[in-house]
Amino acid sequence: MNNDIESVLYSKEQIEERMDELSGEITKKYENEMPLIVSVMNGAMIFTSDMLRRLNFKLNLDIIKASSYQGAHSTGEVKIIQDLRSDVKGRRIILMEDIIDTGRTLKYLKDLLMKRGAKSVEICAMLDKPETRTVDLKGDYIGFNAPNEFIVGYGLDYDGLYRNLPYIGILKKQIYA
């Protein structure tokens, strides 16, 4: 599996250090509140899990499964595959995501949660790929900026593979081309 990786972008140690910093910022803001953390599955599963252990305030957790990808390409259409079970009316929401790429999925989810009556919706993403953005969207808490490459590891996948890598790497082009 490691033979499929062109290069490591962020090591396990770099990820751990950055998550400590992000969780400190978020804890400071929400220490006297009880937000709803919404993990965007499946990609954000590992990131959300590791972040939750670092957040030092009362919170609720829910998951939503949405997709606009088929294989390595965005379809441009967001589909909710599994919806939230929580009522978001009047709640502060933190969307946890693995990567902001085109931004379509997160913009769709943010707008949807606001329409459902959320008090606020912030975005916390491990990676941001600003070069590929097709909608007006900014993350509130970003781990790292990422180049316009196909990235896997630490929750990010290609065709369901590589999520379990402890680092974030660039997938060799011949794997997905």
Catalytic residue among 62, 87, 101, 157: 101
What does the pLDDT average to over 119-145? 96
For residue 1, what pLDDT is reported?
A: 62
pLDDT tens, 51-107? 999 999 999 999 999 877 665 566 678 889 999 999 999 999 999 999 999 899 999
Q: Report in angstroms the alpha-carbon separations of 62 from 2, 87, 130, 165.
A: 32, 10, 27, 24
pLDDT of amino acid 74 = 61
Percent of the chain whose pLDDT exceeds 90: 85
Does position 161 have pLDDT exceeding 60, yes or no?
Answer: yes
Q: How confident is the model at residue 176 (pLDDT cuts 50, 70, 90)?
A: confident
CA distance 60 to 72: 32
Residue that has been written with the tokens 């990010």 in this structure: 156
Cα(106)–Cα(139) distance, integer angstroms: 9
- On the question of pLDDT at 140 being above 80, the answer is yes
**Contact in structure between 114 and 106 (CB atoms under 8 Å):** no
- How many CB atoms neighbour CB 89 within 10 A? 10
Residue 87 falls in the annotated catalytic set: no
Mean pLDDT of 12-23: 98
pLDDT at 174 over 90: no
**pTM for this one?**
0.92
